[in-house]
Chain A
Amino acid sequence: MIEVRDLVKTFGDFCAVDHISFTVPKGRIFGFLGPNGAGKTTTIKMLTTTLTPTSGTIVIDGHDPRREPLAVRRAFGIVFQDPSLDDELTAIENMELHGVLYGVPSATRAARIADLLAFVELSDRGHDYVKQYSGGMKRRLEVARALLHHPPLLFLDEPTIGLDPQTRNHIWGYIQRMSREQQVTVFFTTHYMEEADRVADEVAVIDHGKIVAQSSPAALKAQTGTGSLEDAFISLTGHTIRDEDASSTDRLRMMSRIWRRR
Chain B
Amino acid sequence: MKAVYILWLRQLKRYVRSKSRMVGSLGQPIIFLFALGFGFGPTFQKAGGGNYLQFLTPGIVAMSVLFTAVFSGIEIIWDRQFGFLKETLVAPVPRLAIVMGRTLGGATVASIQGLIVFAICLAAGFRFATSALLLPLALVFLFLLALLFTAVGTAIASVLQDLQGFQLIMNFMVLPLFFFSDALFPIHGLPTALRIVLRLNPVTYGVDGLRGALTHGFAFGLGEDLVILGALTAVMLSVGSYLFSKIQL
Contacts and interface: CB of A to CB of B under 8 A. Distances in A.
B10 A70 contact: no
A49 B247 CA distance: 11
Contacts of A50: 86, 89-90, 248-249
A89 interface: yes
A87 B17 CA distance: 11
A102 B92 CA distance: 6
B83 interface: yes
Contacts of B89: 50
Question: At the interface, is chain B mostly helix, strand, loop or mixed?
Answer: helix
Interface string A89-114: 10001001110111100000000000
B91 interface: yes
A239 B245 CA distance: 42
Contact of B84 (A49, A73, A85, A103): A85
B83 A82 contact: yes
Contacts of B94: 70
A101 B13 contact: no
A54 interface: no
Given A50-B248, A70-B94, A83-B82, A88 B88 contact: no
Interface string A159-177: 0000000000000000000
A88 B13 contact: yes
B161 A101 contact: no
A51 B88 CA distance: 15
Interface residues of B, number: 27
Nearest to A98: B87
Contact of A52 (B82, B86, B87, B248): B248
B87 A84 contact: yes
A45 interface: yes
Interface in A218-262: 258, 262
Interface in B88-112: 88-94
Interface string A202-231: 000000000000000000000000000000
A190 interface: no
Nearest to B6: A100
Given A70-B94, A84-B85, A102-B92, 14 more contacts: A45-B249, A50-B86, A73-B91, A84-B86, A84-B87, A85-B83, A85-B87, A86-B10, A88-B14, A89-B14, A96-B6, A97-B7, A103-B2, A103-B92
8 contacts: A45-B249, A51-B249, A84-B85, A86-B10, A88-B17, A89-B13, A98-B91, A103-B92
Interface of B: 2-3, 5-7, 10, 13-14, 17-18, 79, 82-94, 161, 248-249
Nearest 9 interchain pairs by C-beta? A101-B91, A73-B92, A84-B83, A74-B92, A50-B249, A100-B6, A84-B87, A84-B86, A86-B84
